[in-house]
Chains A and B, each alone.
Chain A
Amino acid sequence: MNKNYRLHYFFLFIFSCFIAFGVIHDGFINVLNGLYKIIREPDILITDYFEVGGIGATFVNAGLIGIINTSIFLKLKAKANGAITAAVWTSVGFAMFGKNIVNIWPIMFGVWLYSKYKKESFLNYALIAIFSTNLSPTLIQFRGLDIGFEYFSTILGVLISIGLGFIFPPLAAYCLKFHQGYCLYNTGLTAGFIATILVSNLRAFGAEIPKRLLWFSGRDVGVEFTLLFVFLTMILYSIRLEGKLNVEPIKDLNKTSGKLVTDFTVLYGEAATLLNMGIMGIVYMALILLISNLNGPTIGGLFTIVGFAALGKHLNNTLPVVFGAAISAYLNVHSVTSPQVVLALLFCTTLAPISGEFGALWGMVAGFLHVSMALSVGYLHGGFNLYNNGFAGGLVAMFLIPLIYAFERRTT
């Protein structure tokens, strides 16, 4: 096996397991019906696909999205690295509540068109294309806006989605300057700005943006075991690559700030990265089960953490931020177990580099501020931006970083 691609093949195996689990869980016919519903229904935040199409169809959708994304990188001969791992797993996570096998294509096509416009290889933009699908709900949303015939609304949705994909790459690259890499979900910030511009214009011309909250609150032992299997398999594959359970690199990895671009596959190798991903997966799954349940959105948050455990996140820099967010969740007027707060507790780890670079106290401040911000900015983009917490985290980082630079005494 080509060493450059073995991580891709390993992830393809896991995504195939998702599909197998989905079919075994609900049966082939139910999965097909569920997928049809997932494709037809609006996807704005928060649309839990467990509620829309059932658990089986959701896992099949996520597995297929994972296979599509990984295959794109394999086709482009891109070696698996931390950024690609983060992009693929984030997409798979959001395939549990917003991205599906149909709505991702127009946006990605828009990014592809941009690469042709710039006369550059699509490889350069593949990462951006995968991340940009956080605006996927735009496609179907126009159908619900009552702006003419259904076909006209659908075509408009497709064209606008392609347009959003076309303008995404330069904006994504530029938005990094705002927070200097301290918000890991940078494309969430980018999509937040784009969706805010889009939605504010829609509102200005009289469109009503509906609110949506579909949240599965049951428990499914099969889902819990499947995820535990995935994370343990990551650890086992790490042991196989290394020949033993090597925790030494994990100690060093936990000392890094995690600021973009801290690529663990490059710095510590694939085995250490997989070990970190597995550990993070198990710890944060336990946290979810402690405060809520495993459903589409919470698994989305979990997979995003696991993906970014290859690009900056580790226990040392994420836990202080989550602790700060938990304090805010406990003190504020919202229930700690409300969907938005649970998601904020998971996705606040986008600000992990602040904790990693400036210490746990600043990390806690960042987490504390993130919760309130995440609960407020949803109105701006009307749920069109799936990475709502990336948008919120980016704004918190833009606010905090200049202040930290001003007041923190740096040693170097």
Chain B
Amino acid sequence: MLSKERSKVLKIIDEVYKYFIEHSHTCHITSTIDFNSTETNIKFKVRLKDKNEIENVSKELEKIFKVQRYREVEELYWNLTGDCYNSDETNLVGMMVDEFKIEIEEDVLRLYLTRKV
């Protein structure tokens, strides 16, 4: 059985994928996950339609992830993330991540997320 921590990481990835698919016309996404005992680093590389779309998505992501980590909220509500695609849980994902960084290069957006154990 997958540990709770790894389940949470998978749900974060699921939710971010859903976000990109929902908020873009066409997109090409690749991601890498780096687990270790103290923290998990997740990297998304997303190719979007044009510069406008990248700017909009980037602004939204900034808003979502600038929120600090709320461990007590996460523990009660993390099961809302992932699984169900009928509603938006990105606000919650923002509360489950410690650090983030966004890089933009032409039509490519890179999102780096760090989650400490």
A294-320: CB near B (< 8 Å → 1, else 0) gives 000000000000000000000000000
Give complex CA distance A120, B78 in Å: 16
* CB-CB nearest in chain B for A257: B87
Residue picked from A83, A405, A412, most chain B C-beta under 10 Å: A83
Quick check: B75 and A261 within 8 Å, CB to CB? no
Per the 8 Å Cβ criterion, residues 112-162 of A in contact with B are: 121, 123-128, 131
Report which of A127, A176, A259 forms a contact with B73, defined as CB distance below 8 A: A127
Is residue A410 within 8 Å, beta carbon to beta carbon, of the partner chain? yes
Report which of A76, A124, A259 forms a contact with B74, defined as CB distance below 8 A: A124
Quick check: B73 and A125 within 8 Å, CB to CB? no
Report which of B77, B83, B84 forms a contact with A260, defined as CB distance below 8 A: B77
Give complex CA distance A121, B116 in Å: 13
Is residue A42 within 8 Å, beta carbon to beta carbon, of the partner chain? no
Q: A181-B87, A412-B22 in contact; A261/B72 too (CB < 8 A)? A: no
Quick check: B86 and A410 within 8 Å, CB to CB? yes
Quick check: B91 and A173 within 8 Å, CB to CB? no
Is residue A291 within 8 Å, beta carbon to beta carbon, of the partner chain? no
Which one, A52-60, A208-216, A262-270, is touching chain B?
A262-270
* CB-CB nearest in chain A for B70: A81
Give complex CA distance A174, B89 in Å: 16
Is residue B42 within 8 Å, beta carbon to beta carbon, of the partner chain? no
* CB-CB nearest in chain B for A182: B87
Is residue B48 within 8 Å, beta carbon to beta carbon, of the partner chain? no
- The distance from the CB of B86 to the nearest CB of chain A, in whole angstroms, is 6
Is residue B80 within 8 Å, beta carbon to beta carbon, of the partner chain? yes
B43-86: CB near A (< 8 Å → 1, else 0) gives 00000000000000000000000011011111111111001101
Give complex CA distance A124, B22 in Å: 31
Query: Could you tell me how many residues of chain A have their Cβ less than 8 Å away from some Cβ of chain B?
Result: 34
Quick check: A405 and B75 within 8 Å, CB to CB? no
Give complex CA distance A125, B73 in Å: 9
Is residue A180 within 8 Å, beta carbon to beta carbon, of the partner chain? yes
* CB-CB nearest in chain A for B68: A79
Is residue B95 within 8 Å, beta carbon to beta carbon, of the partner chain? yes
Quick check: A262 and B91 within 8 Å, CB to CB? yes
Give complex CA distance A173, B79 in Å: 6
Quick check: B91 and A176 within 8 Å, CB to CB? no
Quick check: A176 and B72 within 8 Å, CB to CB? no
Cβ of B68: which chain A residues have Cβ within 8 Å of it? 79
Is residue A194 within 8 Å, beta carbon to beta carbon, of the partner chain? no
Cβ of A186: which chain B residues have Cβ within 8 Å of it? 76
Quick check: A176 and B80 within 8 Å, CB to CB? yes
Residue picked from A78, A81, A174, A261, most chain B C-beta under 10 Å: A261
Give complex CA distance A186, B77 in Å: 10
Quick check: B71 and A124 within 8 Å, CB to CB? yes
Report which of B72, B89, B91 forms a contact with A267, defined as CB distance below 8 A: B91
Report which of A84, A126, A261, A410 forms a contact with B92, defined as CB distance below 8 A: A261
Residue picked from A84, A181, A357, most chain B C-beta under 10 Å: A181
Is residue A169 within 8 Å, beta carbon to beta carbon, of the partner chain? yes
A-B contact pairs, 30 of them (CB 8 A): A78-B72, A79-B70, A81-B73, A83-B72, A83-B73, A83-B77, A84-B72, A124-B75, A125-B72, A125-B75, A127-B72, A127-B75, A128-B72, A128-B76, A169-B75, A172-B76, A173-B76, A176-B77, A181-B89, A261-B73, A261-B77, A261-B80, A261-B89, A261-B91, A261-B95, A263-B73, A263-B95, A267-B91, A357-B87, A405-B86
Q: Which 10 interchain pairs have the tightest Cβ spacing?
A: A127-B72, A124-B75, A176-B79, A83-B73, A124-B71, A261-B92, A181-B80, A173-B79, A261-B77, A126-B72
Additional A-B contact list (20), CB under 8 Å, known A127-B76, A128-B75: A76-B72, A79-B70, A83-B72, A125-B72, A127-B72, A131-B76, A173-B76, A173-B79, A177-B83, A180-B87, A181-B77, A181-B87, A259-B87, A260-B77, A260-B80, A261-B80, A261-B95, A263-B91, A357-B87, A412-B22
